Amino acid sequence: MTRGCFIALEGGDGTGKSTQARLLAEALRQKGIEVVVTREPGGTPGAEAIRELLFDPPGEIWGAEAEALLFAAARSDHVANRILPALEGGEWVVTDRFVDSSRAYQGAARWLGDAVIKQLHEIGSGGLRPDLVILIELDENTIAQRPAERDDGSSDAIGRRDDEYHREVARAFRSYAEADPEGYAIIDGTGTSQEVHQRVIGAVKPLLER
Ligand code: TYD
Q: Which of these, 130, 123, 138, 121, lies nearest to 174 by C-alpha position? A: 138
In this prediction, residues 40-66 reach a mean pLDDT of: 94
The percentage of the chain sitting over the pLDDT mark of 90, rounded to a whole number, equals 84
The domain segmentation of the chain, as residue ranges, is: 6-208
Determine if ligand 1 sits within 6 Å of the CB of residue 97: yes
In this prediction, residues 203-209 reach a mean pLDDT of: 95
Work out the number of other CB atoms within 10 angstroms of the CB of residue 25.
20
* Ranges 34-48, 50-64, 91-105, 107-121: which has the least confidence: 50-64
Residue ID of nearest Cα to ligand 1 atom 8 = 13
pLDDT at residue 210, rounded to an integer = 81
In this prediction, residues 81-106 reach a mean pLDDT of: 98
d(Cα 111, Cα 103) in Å, to the nearest integer? 10
pLDDT band at 154, cuts 50/70/90?
Answer: low
DSSP 8-state assignment for residue 14: T
d(Cα 171, Cα 62) in Å, to the nearest integer? 23
Helical pair 163-179 and 140-149, crossing angle rounded to 10 deg: 130
Q: How many helices (H) and strands (E) does the chain have?
A: 9, 5
Report the relative pairing of strands 6-10 and 92-96 from DSSP bridges: parallel
Tell how far the Cα of 41 is from the centroid of ligand 1, in angstroms. Answer: 7
Element (H, E) at 28: helix 17-30
Residue pair 67/110 in contact (Cβ under 8 Å)? The answer is yes
Nearest atom (ligand 1) to Cα of 102: 22
The domain 6-208 is classified under which CATH number: 3.40.50.300, 3.40.630.30, 3.90.45.10, 1.20.1250.20?
A: 3.40.50.300
pLDDT band at 139, cuts 50/70/90?
Answer: confident
pLDDT at residue 143, rounded to an integer = 57
Question: Which residues face 94 on adjacent strands?
Answer: 7, 37
Residue ID of nearest Cα to ligand 1 atom 22 = 102
pLDDT band at 151, cuts 50/70/90?
Answer: very low
d(Cα 97, Cα 9) in Å, to the nearest integer? 5
Work out the number of other CB atoms within 10 angstroms of the CB of residue 49.
13
Whether the pLDDT of residue 20 is over 50: the answer is: yes
Nearest atom (ligand 1) to Cα of 99: 22
Residue pair 100/133 in contact (Cβ under 8 Å)? The answer is yes
In this prediction, residues 162-188 reach a mean pLDDT of: 96
Tell how far the Cα of 14 is from the centroid of ligand 1, in angstroms. Answer: 10
In this prediction, residues 174-199 reach a mean pLDDT of: 97
pTM: 0.94
Backbone angles phi, psi at 50, to 5 degrees: -65, -35
